[in-house]
Structure 1
Amino acid sequence: MSQDEAPRAGPVVRAAARAQRDWAAASFEERAAVLRRAGDLVQAHAQEITGWLRREGGAAAAMAAFQVKVAAQECFEAAALASRPHGEVLRTGKPRLSFARQVQVGVVGVIAPFNVPLILGIRSVAPALAVGNAVVLKPDPRTAVCGGAVLAEVMRRAGVPEGVFQVLPGGAAAGEALVADPHVRVISFTGSTGAGRRVGEAAGRHLKRVHLELGGNSPLVVLEDVDVEAASSVGAWGSFLHQGQICMATGRHLVHEGVADAYVERLAERAEALTVGDAESEESMLGPVIDAGQRDKVHALVRGSVDAGAALRAGGTYEGLFYRPTVLDRVEVHTPAYAREVFGPVAPVVRFSSIGELVELANSTAYGLSLGVLTGNPVRGLEIADRVPSGIVHINDQTVDDEAVAPFGGVGDSGTGSRFGGGRANLEAFTETQWVTMRADPARYPF
């Protein structure tokens, strides 16, 4: 930990802990009103916010607009969370009232990534505030404005009291300080599986809860009874949206051999037709990857896959940070772009001949975030989903989706389960369960 970052988390977190007491004492109506105003502000300043998402985060117009839409929804859902029942009456064998209630944890630390910074910050910040916690957010330094400063300004204007929501700038060392601070009782982390393991280990040493939403290598299953034209559109969106820099991106196309040739041909045509360029241009469908390091990682996986025997059917080239949408055919389990999360605009295609082989392929990585199944028989799709562990399943759709009202999270190397989303998931994520009993008179004991 660098000397300039080490002391920074302490004062910020202590200030949040002091401010949290009054915020928790505020009525749920007050907190709900603040979150509703926050959602209104996001919508009212959509043009300005999307501008930052495009300039700083490389999001094309549609992706930037989607982030703003979901961010506003997260605020409105959080406002509703503030008034939800927060306990239950329990049976008891004694003459007393026994109940469980959800109480604030105090200070919640949120560590958010660069790829979808607005959504992946607000989906933890808003519900944690709604139930009475203070929040310290550490955004990725590469998207410090659209992932940090924007939220700080929204919450300030919405009326969140001073100190209750704070942004902690810095890199990994600032995150380490946040995890280690004794005032922070819950950590919400979104990022790579490797970084998530380190965060989880550190949180375990400090005996604090941690919610981990990690990487993915999500399969899209294409069965032999599909409309190939429609299926290729679904697959292109799943792999190429936002330059493939989405944890739920379709990382593996598992295609029945009966339609594989036609599917690959049409997918490659779609890839070649996509316009890649300046994210601020209305003509660009895809923008740049986040930085040269990410570009080089993507390109190394593509070249390594071709060297391992994969057939390059589209893309595989770049100019600056603009990487062309890439289609790899004849991919095997050992191929680099199949075995690892690419986090770039790459669509590896693997062929299968039987459902048994398909299930084995789908389960051949440790990830378990999202699964898409394209089929003319939705019931058959659900039967396949029953055999593939995954936190999210979409029948007749691709793997990328997010709604503020739905639980979200992965299993295996993709995280610690559904810890985000409307209703019970958010309530449990950002509160503690407390058991309370009440008697009319003091109990009597034989001592």
Structure 2
Amino acid sequence: LPSHPAGEVLTSNDARWSFARRRPAGVVSVIAPFNFPLILSIRSVAPALALGNTVLLKPDPRTAVCGGVALMRVFEEAGLPAGALSLLPGGAETGAAVVEAPEVRVISFTGSTAAGRRVGEAAARHLKRAHLELGGNNALIVLPGADVAKAASAGAFGSFMHQGQICMTTGRHLVHESLYDAYVAALSEKAAQLPVGDPASGTVALGPIIDESQLKRIHAIVEDALQAGARLTAGGTHDGLFYQPTVLSELSQENPAFAEEIFGPVAPVIKFSTLDEAVELVNANEYGLSVGILGDVGTAMDLADRVHSGKVHINEQTVMDEANAPFGGVGASGTGSRFGGATANIEAFTEVQWLTMRPQIAPYPF
């Protein structure tokens, strides 16, 4: 980004040079979440600095060291000038302060949709730009004819990776009725075999949930789902903060486990009979971050044109991120692709200035 073209030469009706150039926005506040504290901080901190801004970083208070102090030390060792990057750990009051401070011009927020709405409202009152990357209840569509074993492997990774504590986690498995029973059985078998425990103790697939409050929320949604008629085919239990990979089947669209973002290792599976029904199930949810489609590529391409989602991955699950790819969602998942790649980052962290130049002072009729 420091060496990327910072504007363009425009045509003009007058005898002058005309430019549209990108200028640093000023001070950028980065508010990062707990779940991937290093990458979800650096993906805003690095481009904002590279484009000439100063940055105020507020990590989640639960991950203030790995999401804040560690980054500060790296940049200090690299020789970043003092004051270019500042760290301000804290809770909700601190978050409000780094949004409302008059010195701040741009806010880059990653977190829950509820918190993002408050950030967006506060930023709007102060006429500031807020780039909001929020939650997701992402759908994985398994088309008729798909390889069930490979699909279940993709689905297990999408739902259980990092204990489901990812905005891109597969929160809804939409499986064609011809494969439904086989898919539920295969996914449940995988869930039952995945080792859960302290990652420091050996090779495990799932570690702990972030804290007791989040664990209680996950378990409450699972219990509510069962009360609403879902069937438990794997998991549903926990030992301390270690929650077992959980599979729920026989859900309705209104079931809380299908309708809400769980942010835990829970895989709700629902069947569909037609492609139109699959599209309706995807689009009926307020979130629109990531969709995976497994099976026939031609059919998947048609579906990709019809689903409301910031990202679509054909024959891959929903958890996907690359530094040079635009990242973001629609609807309750945020305000668009504001991270990744030169175009998105430059738009996020700079202001456009129109600049004209003449060789002499222009003549005027007054």
* TM bracket (short chain): over 0.9
Partner of 1:282: 202
Q: 201, 211, 218: which one pairs with 1:291? A: 211
1:385 equivalenced with 2:304 (yes/no): yes
- Kindly report which structure 2 residues correspond to 1:20-419, keeping only aligned pairs within 5 A, or say none: 81-375=1-295, 377-419=296-338
Tell me, what secondary structure is at the counterpart of 2:201? Answer: coil
Segments of 5+ residues of structure 1 without an aligned counterpart are: 1-80
TM-score, scaled relative to structure 1: 0.81
- Kindly report which structure 2 residues correspond to 1:417-428, keeping only aligned pairs within 5 A, or say none: 417-428=336-347
- State the distance in 2 between where 1:372 and 1:281 align: 33
What are the Cα deviations for residues 130-154 of structure 1, in whole angstroms up to 9, with x where unaligned? Answer: 0111101000010111111110101
Tell me, what secondary structure is at the counterpart of 1:221? Answer: strand
1:435 equivalenced with 2:354 (yes/no): yes
Question: Which amino acid letter does the alignment assign opposite residue 352 of structure 1?
Answer: F
Partner of 1:22: none
What are the Cα deviations for residues 49-107 of structure 1, in whole angstroms up to 9, with x where unaligned? Answer: xxxxxxxxxxxxxxxxxxxxxxxxxxxxxxxx110101011111111111101000111
- State the distance in 2 between where 1:210 and 1:321 align: 34
- State the distance in 1 between where 2:207 and 2:256 align: 24
- State the distance in 2 between where 1:393 and 1:442 align: 54
Partner of 1:27: none
- State the distance in 1 between where 2:301 and 2:12 align: 41
Tell me, what secondary structure is at the counterpart of 2:153? Answer: helix
Question: Which amino acid letter does the alignment assign opposite residue 121 of structure 1?
Answer: S
RMSD of the alignment, in Å? 0.6
Partner of 2:364: 445
Question: Which amino acid letter does the alignment assign opposite residue 385 of structure 1?
Answer: A
Tell me, what secondary structure is at the counterpart of 1:266? Answer: helix
- State the distance in 2 between where 1:95 and 1:333 align: 63
- State the distance in 2 between where 1:198 and 1:250 align: 26
- State the distance in 2 between where 1:323 and 1:365 align: 26
- State the distance in 2 between where 1:266 and 1:281 align: 28
Question: Which amino acid letter does the alignment assign opposite residue 91 of structure 1?
Answer: T
- State the distance in 1 between where 2:106 and 2:281 align: 36
Question: Which amino acid letter does the alignment assign opposite residue 130 of structure 2?
Answer: V
What are the Cα deviations for residues 124-173 of structure 1, in whole angstroms up to 9, with x where unaligned? Answer: 00000001111010000101111111101011111111111011011010
Tell me, what secondary structure is at the counterpart of 2:319? Answer: coil
Segments of 5+ residues of structure 2 without an aligned counterpart are: none
Question: Which amino acid letter does the alignment assign opposite residue 151 of structure 2?
Answer: A
Tell me, what secondary structure is at the counterpart of 2:28? Answer: strand
Shift of 1:385: 1.1
- State the distance in 2 between where 1:82 and 1:422 align: 13
TM-score, scaled relative to structure 2: 0.99
What are the Cα deviations for residues 25-51 of structure 1, in whole angstroms up to 9, with x where unaligned? Answer: xxxxxxxxxxxxxxxxxxxxxxxxxxx
Shift of 1:113: 0.3
Question: Which amino acid letter does the alignment assign opposite residue 302 of structure 2?
Answer: E
- State the distance in 1 between where 2:180 and 2:171 align: 16
Equivalent pairs, count: 366
- State the distance in 2 between where 1:223 and 1:323 align: 30
- State the distance in 2 between where 1:281 and 1:205 align: 49
Shift of 1:279: 2.3
Question: Which amino acid letter does the alignment assign opposite residue 429 of structure 1?
Answer: A
| Higher strand fraction (1 or 2) | 2
Shift of 1:440: 1.1
Give % identity.
63
Shift of 1:282: 2.8
